[in-house]
């Protein structure tokens, strides 16, 4: 039996539509219509994304962005468990609680290794369904409540869940418009592009610096990879795209450690810990981030050019 | 140069804290327009890329499982495990937490975070451990809290790409495939391992140096008293 990615998407879409119905039935939900519309539209793009004309999907995506931008989404009432119930159950179920949680990565890895044609993504889908079944067996929870818990977590993430897909779409437009070429030409005026190490440094340091400016390695990745990574490191010097790409992303994470723009990771924790210096967390991270960036440059230089 | 308008919009938009989705949308339209695309073409491109990259958001499937487990005390149990290392030094608590975070996030589990672990558990434990050795006062508190918070970031950032369905890897895959390169998620996850080890090693040195500084703080104090 083969499970396809489209089937996994359909299941995801059904989950989202269940969340939509639960949102509409929730009497205490704030921003009820905005939240329901957002998850409803999103669910439709998962189930019928390929059947609907792309321009219509594009318009739906614009509507989602507008709902998010207008702050029409909110939190609901998920009939959550009280603290003492969680404490009691933690003592009763103990380490078994980690079983279903670990089933997800276990099945993901197994499917990716044993059925490479299906791959890690289908594995993640199968793993999630297996884990959900195990969680039902372990906890004897009502299925509806399971989806309430899922909705609680999704509402907590909110619109940010589609940010990656958005950034990928932006990267696609950048690519169509030839933004990468322009950036590459600008970089070429400062960097001696014939030297492989120089292009690797430009890619890794570019990722770190751009991440510091944007506060987000994902956003930086689309720009810097189309501008420096692909034209200079991959095309010109023949780097393996997968290896160079992942190390570039990790270089971006070094930048995340160094910037107040990544407020959630650096500034909010300082406030949370009642530190006097709002940049105290960043200062603690400098002496780790900088050497690690250097390590990443060397890793890309030595690992991403197999046999060259 | 005008083609870079999208990049400028993204930088300025994020700098001025507009909703990132709106910023990306405006940047996309501006970029498409200067490239001579019609609004319908731009919508089509956005829709097509959005649908192709749906896999980036498959973590939605995992949410009900984690939600159910949390209802039945998953977080409480994880806290128990962390708390059981009460007798360690400050630097060692940070390191153990970082490894715990790195391993669990590498398995695709989001167990951790500044609000749920650092503030209520790790920071009090490291502060108490340092105080036992005589490192007290505001300057020490600032330093120890900053390092405690950093352990969470190291573990999270340099563990997450070890999971083959991690959001970061999916974005790498998406951007590269848009440009026509086929890449394999498992291979990418493997090549995140060296950086993960390097991050742990560098962090370990930093944490051990902190322990040493804390111990010498004890000695100077002892000297004053004698």
CB interface of A with B, residues 35-54, below 8 Å: 45-46, 49-50, 52-54
**A166·B10 Cβ contact <8 A:** no
* pTM recorded for the entire structure: 0.83
Confidence of residue A308 (pLDDT cuts 50, 70, 90): low
B186 contacts A120 by C-beta, under 8 angstroms = yes
Sign of CA dihedral B53, B55, B60, B66: negative
| Residues in chain B within 8 Å Cβ distance of A9 | 54-55
Q: Do B10 and A176 touch (CB under 8 A)?
A: no
Q: Of the candidates A5, A60, A175, which has its C-beta nearest B178's C-beta?
A: A175
pLDDT (0 to 100) of residue B66: 85
pLDDT at B220: 55
Rounded CA separation B40/B33 (Å): 11
Q: In this model, does residue A122 exceed pLDDT 60?
A: yes
Is the pLDDT at A119 greater than 50? The verdict is: yes
Q: Pick the more confident residue, A255 or B217.
A: A255
Q: Average pLDDT, stretch A104-133?
A: 89
| Average pLDDT of the segment spanning A115-139 | 91
> How is residue A164 written in tokens?
């990656």
Q: What is the pLDDT of residues A17-40, one digit of tens each?
A: 999 999 999 999 999 999 999 999
> How many angstroms separate the first and last alpha carbons of chain A?
41
* B chain contacts of residue A112, beta-carbon cutoff 8 Å: 164, 185-186
- The phi-psi region of residue B81 (left if phi > 0; otherwise alpha if psi is between -120 and 50; otherwise beta) is alpha
Among the partner residues A132, A177, A261, nearest to B3 by beta-carbon distance: A177
Compute the distance between CA of residue A283 and CA of residue A37 in angstroms, rounded to an integer: 42
pLDDT above 90 for A272: no
Measured in angstroms, the CA of A307 and the nearest CA of chain B are apart by: 16
Per the CB < 8 A criterion, the answer to whether B8 and B16 are in contact is no
Q: Cβ distance B193 to B162 under 8 Å?
A: yes
User: Which is nearest to B33 in space by CA: B23, B22, B21, B45?
Assistant: B45
d(CA A169, CA B45): 7
* Range list of β-strands (E), A10-123: none
CA distance A304 to A307: 9
Torsion, Cα of B87, B90, B96, B101 (10° steps): 130
Three-state secondary-structure class, residue A28: coil
Closest chain B residue to A261, measured at CA? B15
A114 touching B (Cβ < 8 Å): no
B82 contact residues in A (CB cutoff 8 A): none
Min mean pLDDT across A6-10, A273-277, B199-203 is at A273-277
Query: Residue B111: what pLDDT?
Result: 79
State how far the Cα of B142 lies from the Cα of A61, in Å rounded to an integer: 44
Does the CA dihedral B132-B135-B137-B140 come out positive or negative?
negative
- Looking at residue B164, the DSSP 8-state letter turns out to be T
Nearest by CB: B142 against A243, A275, A292: A275
Cross-chain residue pair B169–A246, CB shorter than 8 Å: yes
Q: What gap in Å lies between CA A187 and CA A199, rounded to an integer?
A: 9
Q: Which residue did the predictor score with more confidence, A170 or A3?
A: A3
Which of A140, A145, A149 to mutate: most B Cβ within 10 Å?
A149
| Averaged pLDDT, B53-73 | 89
Query: Quick check: A5 contacting B, CB < 8 Å?
Result: yes
Judging contacts by C-beta atoms under 8 Å, the chain B residues touching residue A151 are 67
* B191 three-class SS: coil
**pLDDT per residue over B128-141, tens digit each?**
889 888 888 899 99
Is A59 in contact with B34 (Cβ distance < 8 A)?
no
Q: Which of B6, B35, B55 to substitute to test the interface with A, most A CBs within 10 Å? A: B55
CB nearest to A89's CB, from B73, B109, B152: B73
> Tokens in use for A172?
């696609």
B12 C-beta neighbours (distance < 10 Å), count: 12
Q: How many helices (H) and strands (E) does chain B have?
A: 11, 0
pLDDT by residue (tens digit) across A178-236? 887 888 888 889 999 999 999 999 999 999 998 998 778 988 898 899 899 999 999 99
Q: What is the pLDDT of residues A37-80, one digit of tens each?
A: 999 999 999 999 999 999 999 999 999 999 999 999 999 999 98
């Amino acid at each position: 039996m083969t499970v396809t990615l489209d089937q996994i998407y359909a299941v995801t879409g059904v989950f989202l539509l269940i969340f939509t119905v639960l949102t509409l039935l929730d009497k205490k939900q704030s921003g009820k219509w905005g939240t329901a519309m957002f998850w409803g539209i999103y669910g439709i793009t998962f189930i019928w994304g390929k059947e609907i004309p792309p321009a219509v999907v594009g318009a739906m995506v614009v509507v989602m962005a507008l709902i998010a931008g207008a702050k029409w989404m909110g939190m609901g009432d998920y009939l959550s468990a009280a603290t003492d119930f969680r404490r009691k159950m933690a003592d009763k179920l103990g380490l078994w609680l980690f079983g279903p949680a670990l089933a997800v990565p276990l099945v993901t890895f197994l499917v990716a290794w044993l059925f490479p044609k299906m791959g890690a993504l289908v594995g993640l889908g199968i793993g999630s369904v297996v884990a959900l079944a195990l969680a039902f067996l372990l906890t004897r929870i009502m299925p509806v409540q399971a989806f309430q818990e899922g909705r609680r977590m999704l509402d907590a993430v909110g619109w940010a869940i589609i940010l990656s897909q958005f950034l990928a779409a932006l990267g696609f437009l950048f690519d169509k418009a030839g933004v990468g070429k322009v950036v590459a030409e600008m970089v070429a005026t400062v960097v001696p592009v014939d030297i492989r190490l120089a292009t690797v440094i430009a890619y890794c340091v570019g990722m770190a610096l751009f991440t510091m400016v944007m506060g987000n390695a994902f956003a930086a990745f689309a720009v810097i990879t189309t501008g420096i990574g692909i034209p200079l490191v991959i095309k010109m010097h023949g780097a393996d795209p997968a290896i160079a790409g992942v190390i570039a992303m990790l270089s971006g994470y070094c930048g995340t450690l160094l910037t107040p723009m990544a407020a959630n990771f650096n500034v909010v924790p300082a406030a949370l810990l009642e530190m006097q210096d709002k940049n105290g967390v960043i200062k603690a991270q400098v002496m780790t981030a900088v050497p690690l960036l250097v390590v990443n440059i060397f890793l890309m230089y030595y690992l991403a050019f197999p046999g060259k | 140069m005008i083609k870079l308008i999208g990049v400028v919009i993204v930088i300025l938009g994020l700098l001025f804290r507009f909703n990132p989705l709106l910023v990306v949308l405006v940047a996309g339209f501006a970029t498409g327009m200067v490239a001579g695309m019609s609004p319908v073409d731009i919508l089509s491109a956005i829709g097509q890329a959005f649908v192709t990259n749906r896999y980036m958001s498959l973590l939605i499937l995992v949410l009900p499982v984690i939600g159910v487990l949390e209802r039945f005390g998953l977080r409480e149990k994880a806290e128990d495990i962390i708390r059981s290392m009460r007798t360690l030094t400050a630097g060692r608590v940070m390191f153990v937490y970082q490894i715990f975070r790195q391993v669990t996030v590498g398995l695709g589990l989001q167990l951790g975070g500044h609000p749920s672990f650092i503030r209520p558990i790790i920071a009090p434990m490291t502060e108490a451990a340092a105080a036992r050795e005589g490192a007290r006062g505001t300057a020490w508190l600032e330093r120890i809290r900053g390092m405690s918070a950093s352990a969470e970031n190291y573990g999270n950032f340099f563990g997450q790409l070890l999971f083959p369905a991690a959001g970061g890897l999916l974005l790498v895959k998406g951007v590269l495939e848009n440009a026509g390169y086929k890449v394999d998620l498992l291979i990418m996850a493997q090549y995140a391992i060296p950086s993960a080890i390097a991050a742990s090693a560098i962090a370990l040195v930093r944490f051990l140096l902190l322990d040493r500084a804390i111990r010498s703080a004890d000695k100077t104090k002892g000297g004053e008293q004698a």
